[in-house]
Amino acid sequence: MNPVYSPDAGRYTAGMKYRRCGKSGILLPEISLGLWHNFGDVNPLSNAESMIHYAFDSGITHFDLANNYGPSYGAAEETFGYIMEKSLKPYRDELFISTKAGHDMWQGPYGEWGSRKHLMSSIDQSLKRMHLEYVDIFYSHRYDPNTPLEETLQALVDIVRQGKALYVGISKYPREAADFAYNYLERQNVHCLLYQGRYNLLNREAEEEGTLKQAHHNGTGFIAFSPLAQGLLTNRYLSGHIPEDSRMAHDHFLKQEALTDDMIAKITALNVIALQRGQSLAEMALAWILKDDQVTSVIVGTSSVIQLADNLRACEHTSFTEEELIRIKKVLS
C-alpha cells in the first residue's frame, strides 16, 4: 500500500461526466463505485485501497455502501473507514458517501427491516465504522411490509435533522410504496434524493414497472445497481463454462442454473453487437443504461483496478443508433 496518497490533479478533467440528481444541487458521476463485494475482511486490503484510489483519481466521487456489505457484515464500511482515515480524509468534502440499512445485519428482532430502532442503531454503527460525522445519503435498503411506512420514513427524516445524513433515499421499493414515500418525505421538507433500483439489459423491471419514470417525475434521481447482472453481461460466461474463480462458482447470489442455453445465446448475440460498436459486452451493457438521461448514475462492483478501468470506458460511447437498439431489443425479446 502506498504510504502517502495524493489524488490525481486531473481527476475532474480526465473524462468523467456528471449528471444532476433529480431536482437537487447534487451532481453524481456517471459511474459510481459499489462496495458490495471485494471490500470485506476476507479480501486483501491493498486491493481495496488501490481500487478506491483509482476510482477517485478517475473522477468517481460517489462510493456506495451498506451496513451489511462484506463479508463479514460491516467489513466493507470498516475497510472504507480505514482508507478514509488513512488517505481520503483531506478530501471528504469532494466525496459523496452513501450507506443503507434494512437487510439482515445482527441477530434478534431488531437486526433487520425498517423499524426506527433498526435504522437509528444502524446509522450510528455505520458512522462509527467509517470514521465519519455524517453520510451524504442514507437509504432505507428495502421496503418493510410489516412496519408502518410512516415509522420508517420518519426515522429517515429524523436522521437528516440530527445531522447524520445530508439526504435520504429508498431502494427496491415497489411503486405504490415509493409513491407514498416520496409524498411523505416531501411533506416533511426532506426531499427523496435517490431511488436505487436493479436495472440492466436482462432485467428491465425499472422500465416495465415504472419506477424509473416515477422517480423522474418526482424529481428524484435514479441510480442503477447490478448493471452487469452479477457478471452475466461480461465475457466471463460467453463460452458456456463457469470459471472456477467466478462469482457464479462461489456466490449464492448468482446461481449456476442461470447459465441456460437461451442465456448463452442472448449474451453471445449481445456481444456481437458490442464488438461492432467497438466495445466489450460489459462496456455496452453499462452504456445502454447510461443512454437514458433519466438515469443519474450506475453502480459498478469491481474486483481489480483493471476491471474498473474497463468499466469506465463505457462512458466514452453511450449513444446508440436506432438500428442498434432494434437489434438489442430483438435479442432480448
Confidence of residue 179 (pLDDT cuts 50, 70, 90): very high
Q: Which helix (H) or strand (E) holds 166?
A: strand 165-171
What is the Cβ-side half-sphere exposure of residue 253, based on CA atoms within 13 angstroms?
A: 9
Question: How large is the angle between the packed helices 281-290 and 261-276, nearest 10 degrees?
Answer: 80
CATH 3.90.1150.10 applies to domain 18-231+292-315: no
Confidence of residue 1 (pLDDT cuts 50, 70, 90): very low
What is the Cβ-side half-sphere exposure of residue 276, based on CA atoms within 13 angstroms?
A: 12
Residue 244 is predicted with a pLDDT of 59
pTM for this model (two decimals): 0.95
> Of 258, 203, 218, 204, which is closest to residue 236 (Cα–Cα)?
258
Whether the per-residue pLDDT at 306 is higher than 50: the answer is yes
Locate the domains of the chain by residue range: 18-231+292-315
> Of 173, 261, 171, which is closest to residue 224 (Cα–Cα)?
171
Whether the per-residue pLDDT at 254 is higher than 70: the answer is no
> What residues pair up with 198 in beta bridges, in sequence order?
225
- Residue type at position 161: R
pLDDT digits (tens, 9 = 90+) for 117-168: 999 999 999 999 999 999 999 999 999 999 999 999 999 999 999 999 999 9
pLDDT digits (tens, 9 = 90+) for 7-28: 999 999 989 999 999 999 999 9
pLDDT digits (tens, 9 = 90+) for 255-297: 667 788 999 999 999 999 999 999 999 999 999 999 999 999 9
Residue 252 is predicted with a pLDDT of 58
> What residues pair up with 223 in beta bridges, in sequence order?
196, 297
d(CA 256, CA 85): 39
